[in-house]
Amino acid sequence: MIYMDNSATTQVLPDVLASYNKVSEQIWGNPSSLHQMGEVAANLLQQSRQQIANLLGVKRDEIVFTSGGSEGDNWVIKGTALAKQKFGKHIITSSVEHAAVRNTMKQLESLGFEVTYLPVDQQGRVNPADVKAALRPDTILVSVMAVNNEIGTVQPIGEIGEILKAHPKVHFMVDAVQAIAKGMDAVWFSDRVDFVVFFWS
């Protein structure tokens, strides 16, 4: 069999699976509990958070674990929109986002938010100039994926980030599920990207 979807769903490496099984069998305490098993689990969780933070060059407290990329997208988009709605209700995204982003935007539209869906070229790439042109005084969030999950197009995240430096009140989210740990990490963690959502498997 030739498997062509290895970027989206990859077989777990034997070492990773062995580590997962070991933790599941031996350290199954609730990390929020005060008993010894809970403390062991809490320490392991913090160690994992620190290791990921070190790999990505961010602070440990900036790492938040969710059940996966879709939950992360929902959490960031809805949380940002609802927290910032007193400053505006305009959001910018691309027309080729993952369903986790697209469906969240549709839900926000039903709550009175206005979403601008940017077009893409024949390669599925957003034009940074379109992002700049779409910005308004009431824009609160820009959300553009790093790498398209269907066709693999790499979006110009660095260029969009440069544009948004002139708009510090606009948050910038990058869905990097298809990019993290694939040799492109540093691009998404520039000083202008506020949120990066990824799934590490």
142 has pLDDT over 70: yes
What is the arithmetic mean of pLDDT over 179-183? 66
Looking at the structure, tell me whether residues 97 and 181 fall in a common domain: yes
- Alpha carbon 183 to its chain centroid, in Å, reads 16
Q: Residue 109: its pLDDT value, please?
A: 98
Specify whether 180 is located in the same domain as 109: yes
Q: Is residue 7 in a domain? A: no
169/30 Cα distance (integer angstroms): 38
Residue 122 shares a structural domain with residue 57 = no
Structural tokens at position 92: 């910018």
Task: Please write down the HEC assignment for all residues of the chain.
Answer: CCCCCCCCCCCCCHHHHHHHHHHHHHCCCCCCCCCHHHHHHHHHHHHHHHHHHHHHCCCHHHCCCCCCHHHHHHHHHHHHHHHHCCCCCEEEEECCCCHHHHHHHHHHHHCCCEEEEECECCCCCECHHHHHHHCCCCEEEEECCCECCCCCCECCHHHHHHHHCCCCCCEEEEECCCCCCCCCHHHHCCCCCCEEECCCC
Q: Quick one: 29 and 110 in the same domain?
A: no
pLDDT digit string, tens, across residues 12-42: 889 989 998 998 999 988 999 999 999 999 9
Query: Is residue 9 in a domain?
Result: no
Residue 80's domain spans which residues?
69-197
Domain end among 62, 83, 98: 62
Tell me if the pTM is above 0.75: yes
* Position 55 in a domain: yes
Contact 196, 64 (CB under 8 A): no
Residues 23 and 117 in one domain: no
For residue 3, being part of any structural domain is answered with: no
Q: Is the same domain home to 90 and 177? A: yes
Per-residue pLDDT of 94-107, as tens digits, reads 999 999 999 999 99
Least confident of 84-98, 111-125, 152-166: 152-166
Count of domains for the chain: 2
Structure tokens at 106: 């549709």
Mean pLDDT of 168-185: 81
Query: Which pLDDT score, from 0 to 100, does residue 127 have?
Result: 98
Whether residue 56 is found in the same domain as residue 77? no
C-alpha to C-alpha distance for 122 and 145, rounded to whole angstroms: 17
For residue 170, the domain's CATH number is 3.40.640.10
Distance (Å, whole) CA 96 – CA 148? 8
Residues 126 and 47 in one domain: no
85 shares a domain with 27: no
Q: Report residue 152 as tokens.
A: 């693999």
Rounded Cα–Cα distance for residues 23 and 11 (Å): 19
pLDDT surpasses 80 at 180: no
CA distance linking residue 52 with residue 63, whole number of Å: 8
